[in-house]
Structure 1
Amino acid sequence: VLSFAGGLPAPEAFPAGALARAHADVLANDAAAALQYGPTEGFGPLRAWVAERMTRRGLPAAPGQVLITAGSQQGIDLVGKALIDPGDTVVVEAPSYLAALQSFSTYEARFETVETDDDGMSADALERVLLARRVRLIYLVPNFQNPRGTTLSLERRARIARLAAQHGVSVLEDDPYGELRYRGPALPPVAGLDEDAPVIHLGTFSKTLAPGLRLGYAVADERIIRALTIAKQAADLHTASLTQRAVARMLETFDYDAHLVRLRLLYGERLDAMLSSIERSFPEGTAWTRPEGGLFVWMRLPCGMDAQDLFVDAMRERVAFVPGAPFYPGDPCRETLRLNFSNRPPLAIAEGMARLGACVETRLREAGPERQVAG
């Protein structure tokens, strides 16, 4: 099956050799510490590296403002555990990252959706919600959003930070894809735009090094980091000591920026292949996003076509995607679907899009001339 479903990085891009050497070095020279329990906040040198990196990206941070997590997914869960009480309102985009919706639901959050477009979450719509009701948390993915692939504009970033400061509402800025930009200028984190805004920034090494490391981080003011640390102590005591030390050791000599350049070239080529293949293979009435980075393209099928029904057809042709309905907390658009491009080479992408486009064409023919084209 040609799968474009999971958000999988390309395994051929994992720095396996550098990671192997770093693990061997740590075990040869620091085994006692690496195999022992460690501080919940994380390994000091790795926290310092993250703080310096985020400062360079526009979010001034000190090591004491960094918590090392077991992937950014744990960061989402810790924020829910520390901040959300049953019945609290969480503002999300529609569609939004499915695993975040699932995590917040376990803490019995009530979702309030706001409009989103090619420039990300609507600040006007957010302000209307903040004026109408008490909100506990705003959740957003500012760069190359999962699932839509869209990016929050600089103007909206600044305004959302300002609204959060004015209303005293915490923002969870989930940024797993921020360093995977293939075109256009990089934008600063929301967390760095207003020092009075209570923003928690999440990042991860899953998309830039390897997801199997399960290594992420939260950056926030020290009061919030203390609350998240307490929540993490009850969850897993600390992130794996060996992994933290090995990655920190690797980063002492590994050219991380050169590695990112290679990743961007690889994934940028695959994104271009997907966009050109969609243009070539899908019928009139199909619409899709044109991301500047990240891992996903979001598609809307011709009017009235259910992506779940299309999935059945596609699997018969041995091609897979994720139907879009589960990404909505309520009132889903069933004409939507998500496509991942990072885990397949260009020729496989072209073949997969040709198969999927043919499935859409077949459904349109079978539906007859009365089917309307999406506007």
Structure 2
Amino acid sequence: MAPISFARGIPGPDLLPIAEFGACAQRALERDGATALNYGPPGGYPPLRAWIAERHGVEPSRVVVTNGSLQGFQFVAKHYAEQGARFFVEAPCYDRSLQILRALEVETREVELAEDGLDIDALEGFLRAGDVVYTIPTFQNPSGRTLSRSSRERLLGLVRERGAVLFEDDPYGLLRFEGESLPQLFELAGGDGVLFLSSFSKTVAPGIRTGYVILPEGLVPAIETLVLTSYVSPAIFVEAALFEFVAAGRFEPNLARVTDALRIRRDAMLAALSRELPEGARWNEPEGGYFLWLDLPVGVDTGSLLARASEQDVTFVRGSDFYLGPGGEESVRLAFSYASATEIGEGIARLGRLVHEAAAVAA
């Protein structure tokens, strides 16, 4: 029985631009090899910084390219943790971000997600000056939910009113399959008042480990100091190769190809869930991204289900892994990014049989 993974949010091999990126890496060596193979400035490869800045309508000096967006999150979180800031996060929230906040021993509070994203009513009762609100507003990891435009505007207004910091993480926003394209919080704010984090892991390849953060000018030196004390220099060669990739006009066609493939996978998973899952199971239908959130029938324990699913060579992530405290015990995150449509159908069929059995026992 072939293993099928719905666990990690990684692209399938067919989504990786292997030949194209290889050619761009070679071109980076030919055009700027002495720079690409040396130490570089802490903010990243200057041509790539300039390209990112132009896309977002900011000065290149506000962009810090990092070794993956999670590194950018860690630097920003460390900076604010040292200032004694409280963090507010979504519940459920990206588990790697939670791990970093735990390690930093930051005071962190969870805010439940509503159907249209972060529950602003709940946040309003606690937010105060100096707090940091961390959110993935578009195709959120792990839930796949998207914050509505009205809630985005309300969140911006609340953060400004209270004197808090809004930290937007947007690795999935460009991977939209259908529906209305919503502006980033950063865009709604006119490029000011929001710290913006993004990544090329989902739109190009995770192995290049390239993300970036857009900061107020006054915060850049502190983050660049963390770069220097953490790894001396960014991965300039990879950043130079990525610049050749985007400068050659390959980014948008690759994005369209990846988005089309992910849409097919998402559709295959939704169809399989409708076909295989018992009454009482509920799931959302994300309009983009990598993930969907599955609520299991009452009484089905995800720990036991995961153990049995692993015996059937199917893996997923328990919903409880995305909470600081209790929560998600009867939910799972399913990633549709890696397996093919055929594999998704087979994997959900295996999972469905186990859920039927567990639901019958729990009834």
Question: 1:299 maps to which residue?
Answer: 294
Q: Which moved more, 1:209-218 or 1:158-167?
A: 158-167
Moved over 4 A (4+): none
Return closer, same or farther for 1:135/1:281 CA change in 2, 3 Å cut-off.
farther
- SS class of match (1:338): strand
2:356 to 344, 347, 361: 361
One-letter amino acid matched to 1:30: D
Deviations 1:189-243 (Å, cap 9, x if unpaired)?
1122235963111111111111010001101221122221122121112321111
Contact (CA 8 Å) 2:299, 2:359: kept in 1 or not? no
Q: Which moved more, 1:18-27 or 1:196-205?
A: 196-205
Deviations 1:145-196 (Å, cap 9, x if unpaired)?
0100000111111111111111121111111111111111211111222359
1:109 to 92, 95, 106: 106
Tell me, yes or no, if structure 1 residue 51 matches structure 2 residue 48. Answer: no
1:66 to 48, 63, 67: 63
Return closer, same or farther for 1:271/1:36 CA change in 2, 3 Å cut-off.
same
Question: 1:278 maps to which residue?
Answer: 273
Q: How many residues align?
A: 361
The TM-score with structure 2 as length reference comes to 0.96
| Structure-2 separation of matches of 1:196 and 1:168 | 17
| Structure-2 separation of matches of 1:353 and 1:65 | 44
| Structure-2 separation of matches of 1:118 and 1:237 | 43
Aligned-pair distance for 1:366?
Answer: 2.6
Question: 2:174 maps to which residue?
Answer: 179
Tell me, yes or no, if structure 1 residue 20 matches structure 2 residue 15. Answer: no
Question: 1:309 maps to which residue?
Answer: 304
Question: 1:327 maps to which residue?
Answer: 322
One-letter amino acid matched to 2:164: V
Unaligned runs of 5+ in 2: none
Aligned-pair distance for 1:263?
Answer: 1.0
Question: 2:237 maps to which residue?
Answer: 242
One-letter amino acid matched to 2:87: V
Return closer, same or farther for 1:252/1:134 CA change in 2, 3 Å cut-off.
closer
Tell me, yes or no, if structure 1 residue 80 matches structure 2 residue 77. Answer: yes
Question: 2:249 maps to which residue?
Answer: 254
Tell me, yes or no, if structure 1 residue 123 matches structure 2 residue 120. Answer: yes
The TM-score with structure 1 as length reference comes to 0.93
Deviations 1:84-132 (Å, cap 9, x if unpaired)?
13864210111100000111112111121112122100111111111xx
| Structure-1 separation of matches of 2:183 and 2:250 | 22
| Structure-2 separation of matches of 1:330 and 1:135 | 24
Return closer, same or farther for 1:362/1:265 CA change in 2, 3 Å cut-off.
same
Q: Percent identity?
A: 39
Return closer, same or farther for 1:227/1:321 CA change in 2, 3 Å cut-off.
same
One-letter amino acid matched to 1:10: G
| Structure-2 separation of matches of 1:284 and 1:171 | 39
Contact (CA 8 Å) 2:58, 2:191: kept in 1 or not? no
- SS class of match (2:82): coil
Deviations 1:246-292 (Å, cap 9, x if unpaired)?
11122221332121111111000100110111011000100111101
Q: How does 1:127-166 map to 2 (within 5 A)?
A: 127-130=124-127, 136-166=131-161
| Structure-2 separation of matches of 1:62 and 1:14 | 30
